[in-house]
Amino acid sequence: MSNTALPVLQTQPNAAPQGASDELKHLKPPVDPAKLKHRDLLGGTFWQKIPAYREISEATFLDHSWQSKHSIINPEKLLDAVRGLVSDEFIADAKVGFSRAPMSVRVSPYLLSLIDWTDPYHDPLRIQFIPVGSRLLPDHPKLGLDSLHEQADAPVPGLTHRYPDKALFLPLDTCPVYCRFCTRSYAVGVDTEEVEKVQLKAKPERWQRAFRYISERPELEDIVVSGGDAYNLRATQITEIGEALLALPNVRRIRFATKGPAVMPQKVLTDHAWADALTAVVEKGRKLHKEVVLHTHFNNPNEITAITEAAMNKLHERGIYVRNQSVLQKGVNDTVETMRLLIKRLGHVNVHPYYVYVHDLVQGVEDLRTTLDTGLMLEKHVRGSTAGFNTPTFVVDAPGGGGKRDAHSFEHYDRDNGISVFTSPAVKDDQYYIYYDPLHLLPSDAARERWKNPTEIEKMIDTAIAKARGQVRP
């Protein structure tokens, strides 16, 4: 066998490469580095601007157990933490907001530190987690507490089987923080003044019923493990659930869903048992030729910091694929500039934008919803900003259990009265699903007046379905 070395490309010492004297032709002017904002991540001891955290060291702030222990679950304590940073009027306004909220309160020190308390009314993180009474609006007349009908499609408690080959498994009903806009506010968190919750506690006997159902349905190949939030599962529970699902021959894909990296990335960095358990399930799945990934939930570029990057780097080094699902919200991510920056920043930290949901019809957060038209506009302007695999699909999760539909796929959309009609042939091919724009964003007073009359409401809906039926093709 010849031991002759393979040829390598060589150049003469000090020889200029061919064509070096030719002037390079730049077809586009260079981008000003100052415009590459997606690379500018907040770092340093930013949390020390909050009086309650002024003496907190970096080591302590990065400790996931400290973050969890000091997460605020009482409105009074939350407002006490920022007293002196905001006006008494804002404090009073927030108290009213909390009293009328359907979602429980839980805010991590990390999240609290990211809010701009010099302008809390317009801060996109405050908007998502801390309600204020002055901004609340009446719920849409067609809104329901479980608008997606997850419970109606649940053969056993905590397991929703809607799509032919996919099921949603809810092993618990708690989260590291509670989002105002949660579509699962019917179950997540503790009871509030507005809502008595459905109980989905982390009980292995309930889990076994779900595993048995999945095992008896050979068409089920894709399982989403959500909640609540997979972040709140103990390491042993991640292992138990992951191995139980991987052991089922029909299950090919598992997604652990969590808001955690957006609100407490410290857990990925310092809860070594949890990170190792997730890694082990991912690696075992890979050996079985099955896909196990992490789905997370960033809504605004301000949620992505240097701590986020360190956490995502750790997952990336371990070969854990991370996808993101955002919710379109007014004042949070409903401008082209913000959505572009979010998507670019996600890609920068190796998180792949997957979906942007047009906001579900959720009780108590009508001020957060936007129109379907806003989603269509954003998708048009965002596409082409970055690679296609890092560009999310804008979807409507069709009220009534139709599942996720491409926002462009409506059969009929009347922008004047805010009614859009979708079909979902692969889920239920004989039904029409209606999404409603928020009434305060309708273009005319006349349209809003019609929504005050129950008879007119039914006429508008019947007309929309009739027009949609005329558009449907077999």
Question: Which amino acid appears at position 299 of this protein?
Answer: N
Higher pLDDT, 243 or 186: 243
Task: Give the pLDDT of residue 104.
Answer: 76
- Residue 166 parent element (H or E): strand 166-169
Higher pLDDT, 13 or 50: 50
Higher pLDDT, 450 or 28: 450
Task: Give the pLDDT of residue 150.
Answer: 66
Q: What is the pLDDT of residues 102-140, one digit of tens each?
A: 777 889 999 999 999 999 999 999 999 999 999 999 999
Closest CA to 79 of 56, 99, 54: 99
Question: Strand, coil or helix: what is 201?
Answer: coil
Average pLDDT over residues 70-84: 87
Q: Which DSSP state fits 35?
A: G
Report all structural domains of the chain as residue ranges with CATH numbers, in order of start. 46-135 (no CATH), 159-409 (3.20.20.70), 410-474 (no CATH)
Q: Report the half-sphere exposure of 175 (CA within 13 A, side-chain side).
A: 32
Q: Which DSSP state fits 233?
A: S
Closest CA to 136 of 362, 340, 335: 362
- Residue 296 parent element (H or E): strand 291-296
Structure tokens given for 146: 């479980």
- Complete edge-to-edge strand list for the sheet that includes strand 428-436: 412-414, 419-424, 428-436
Task: Give the pLDDT of residue 13.
Answer: 46
Question: Strand, coil or helix: what is 160?
Answer: strand
100 falls in which pLDDT band (50, 70, 90)?
confident
Instruction: Write the CB contacts of 44 (distance below 8 Å, at least 6 apart in sequence).
Output: none
Average pLDDT over residues 320-349: 98
CA distances from 174 to 11, 17, 164, 184, 205 (A): 63, 62, 28, 11, 18
Average pLDDT over residues 437-450: 96
**Which segment of 34-43, 101-110, 235-244 scores lowest on mean pLDDT?**
101-110
The answer to whether residues 187 and 200 touch, using CB atoms and an 8 Å cutoff, is: yes
Can you tell me the distance from the alpha carbon of 428 to that of 162, in angstroms, rounded to the nearest whole number? 9
Cα dihedral 119, 120, 122, 125, rounded to 10, equals 130
Phi and psi at residue 400, to the nearest 5°: 95, 0
Task: Give the pLDDT of residue 188.
Answer: 55
2 falls in which pLDDT band (50, 70, 90)?
very low
Task: Give the pLDDT of residue 1.
Answer: 43
Does 329 have pLDDT greater than 80?
yes
Average pLDDT over residues 292-315: 98
Does 35 have pLDDT greater than 50?
yes
Cis peptide before 84 (omega within 30 of 0): no
Please report which residue ranges of 227-330 form alpha helices under DSSP H: 235-246, 260-263, 266-270, 272-287, 306-317
Task: Give the pLDDT of residue 7.
Answer: 42
Can you tell me the distance from the alpha carbon of 50 to that of 117, in angstroms, rounded to the nearest whole number? 9
Can you tell me the distance from the alpha carbon of 271 to that of 264, in angstroms, rounded to the nearest whole number? 11
C-alpha radius of gyration, the chain, whole number:
25
Can you tell me the distance from the alpha carbon of 393 to that of 325, in angstroms, rounded to the nearest whole number? 9
Task: Give the pLDDT of residue 10.
Answer: 43
Task: Give the pLDDT of residue 433.
Answer: 94
